[in-house]
Chain A
Amino acid sequence: MADLNKDEIRAMGKAVGLTIEDPELTEVMYSLNALLESLDAINPPGLNDVEPLPIILPPA
């Protein structure tokens, strides 16, 4: 997966109403690319078959 560059980060920001410029732009680029790269590398068998229930509900 190719890293996002500054122009792409800036455009993604614009899409959600954020104006991101340096010095934050560079740091957000590294931070976002690092997280996406790490997440992309995790692909355990069966991942497509699970549902993303985020909690265990306490007893009602």
Chain B
Amino acid sequence: MDKSDLPFLSAGELSRLIQANQVSPVEATEAYLDRIDALDFRFNSYLTVMRDQAMADARQAETDLQNGNNRGPLHGVPVAVKDQFWSEGVRSTGGSRILADFVPDEDATVIANLRKGGAVILGKTNMTEFAITGFSHRYSTPRNPWNIDTYTGGSSSGSGAATAAYLCATSLGEDTGGSIRFPATWCGLVGIRPSWGLVSRYGVMRGVWSMDTVGPISRTVEDAAITLGVIAGHDPKDAYSSTEPVPDYRKALGGDLNGLKVGVITEFMESDLVEPEVLQAVSKAIATLGELGATVEEVSIPLSMDAGVASAVLLAVEPALAQQDWTKDRIQDYGHDVRIMLLTGSLLPAQAYYKAQKLRTMLRRQVLESLEKYDVLVLPTSGKGALRLEDDPPITSKETAGRLAFLFTRIFNLASCPAMSLPCGFDDRNMPVGLQIGARPGGEETIFKVAHAYEQATEWHTMRPPGA
């Protein structure tokens, strides 16, 4: 195989070739670095490319393999990581100007786990400022490989762009309100927010402590399964990380869906926030799950459409508290929409925060009750495909204050449940549409099983963005 073709393999395919000694980690890393050099000026996906360290890691991975020291399925595989994670000796800006020169002296646990697993880290990916909003970037704005005049979705925008543009084999994002699934759906990728506590948050710049989760953004379901398996697991540095053993998620892949019960959340399917082409693609995907053997029924979760408001309160208050010193002393160093969000969050009354948490409890009960009857819940990830790039507009009325009402990810953040977005078609502008699959806490294997069955029955994952 020609070296320049290596980046177009899935992470799983590349891993198998590396393990079989048919491709060297050095060759694969060079191929990705060459593509980054040649193409990333179009996509703005990386904030820092770790060229020298990546090549050194690749050479070490090759030596280890030659010595029989196989570290697992990401050994020698080039990956990208969001700049929200500390990286030892490498600047970690969190997408902000405030941390433009911040160089941590240790790795976040997810990065340490990637290194233990032999992965080659290509660099730190672009993101919205402190992962606080879905659009605002303090450096360049990442561009969507399916149409470079559109957004990737955020906040893990650079991980979405890099993965869709074949500038890494797989990547890591962080999802507090949808920041993995949002770029996954708009970039035609597979992104999973794992159960809260499955992956350590140590060294991850905080959003909402009880909703922050790190997970993969990948091109295939298998790639996401491999990546999650490497980063998950108990971490003494994160007191709330799970002590349960991490399964090999690849074992969940394969087979039909006989006996599985799928609940379709009616409130989202009937919402006027869903564009007709998105509804059509998602409905067809759900019908395919039925053809694969699943029992499909409609289910109502009455509070589901209120998830956006309840989570918006938490997503405003907690970052404002976490950054209260900078909000007081350096507010003009923030970009426009983050500045407004932090000031708003600083003024929200305690009663509002308390009410939002109570609504969260009620919503979570409704979701968990539904998941006693159904193995998974399905819905669109977003009501619309990728928006065109535009300037960050001022808020000129109460009606223009909210920009993400079409994003349907937050129900699972509030419920502390795992959820995945995977490609299920295109809208009338040929922009990707995502199907979202949620399960009960700890239900990642069920999600992987359903997603893999659907992926293998369709061809969406084989399609390549025109810009890549």
Chain A residues with CB under 8 Å of chain B are 3, 9, 12-13, 16-18, 20, 23-24, 26-28, 30-39, 42, 44, 46-47, 50-60
Contacts and interface: CB of A to CB of B under 8 A. Distances in A.
Given A42-B359, A52-B361, A35 B441 contact: no
Contact of B343 (A13, A33, A35): A13
B324 to A, nearest CB: 8
Nearest to B302: A44
Given A13-B343, A24-B339, 9 more contacts: A3-B398, A18-B327, A18-B331, A18-B346, A30-B397, A32-B344, A34-B399, A37-B398, A52-B360
Of B343, B359, B399, B416, most A-chain CB atoms within 10 Å: B343
B468 interface: no
Interface stretch (B52-60, B68-76, B182-190, B308-316): B308-316
Interface stretch (B40-48, B145-153, B219-227, B239-247): B239-247
Interface residues of B, number: 52
Given A58-B197, A59-B242, A42 B309 contact: yes
B259 interface: no
Contact of A35 (B198, B303, B344): B344
Contacts of A12: 347
A50 B358 contact: yes
Contact of A31 (B303, B341, B354): B341
Contacts of A24: 331, 339-340, 343
A17 to B, nearest CB: 6
A56 B213 CA distance: 13
Given A17-B328, A32-B348, A56 B343 contact: no
B313 A58 contact: no
A60 B344 CA distance: 36
A41 B378 CA distance: 27
7 contacts: A18-B327, A27-B340, A30-B398, A35-B313, A35-B348, A39-B355, A44-B359
A44 B360 CA distance: 12
A4 B355 CA distance: 19
A32 B310 contact: no
B140 interface: no
B255 interface: no
B357 interface: yes
Contacts, number: 122
A55 to B, nearest CB: 4
Q: Which 5 A-B pairs have the closest CB atoms?
A: A58-B197, A52-B357, A58-B242, A34-B401, A34-B398
Nearest to B402: A34
B454 to A, nearest CB: 27
Interface string B331-375: 100000001110110111000101111111110110000000000
B196 interface: yes
A47 B360 contact: no
A23 B362 contact: no
Contact of B398 (A33, A53, A57, A58): A33
A56 B316 contact: no
A26 B356 CA distance: 24
Contact of A52 (B302, B340, B354): B354
Interface in B85-107: none
A48 B410 CA distance: 23
A31 B340 contact: yes
A52 B358 contact: yes
B357 A13 contact: no
A46 B363 CA distance: 12
Contacts of B360: 52, 54
Contacts of A36: 348, 352
Interface in B398-412: 398-402
A35 B328 contact: no
A25 B328 CA distance: 14
Nearest to A16: B346
Given A17-B328, A52-B357, A27 B210 contact: no
B309 A39 contact: yes
Nearest to A23: B394
B195 interface: yes
Given A18-B328, A36-B352, A31 B344 contact: yes
A57 B340 contact: no
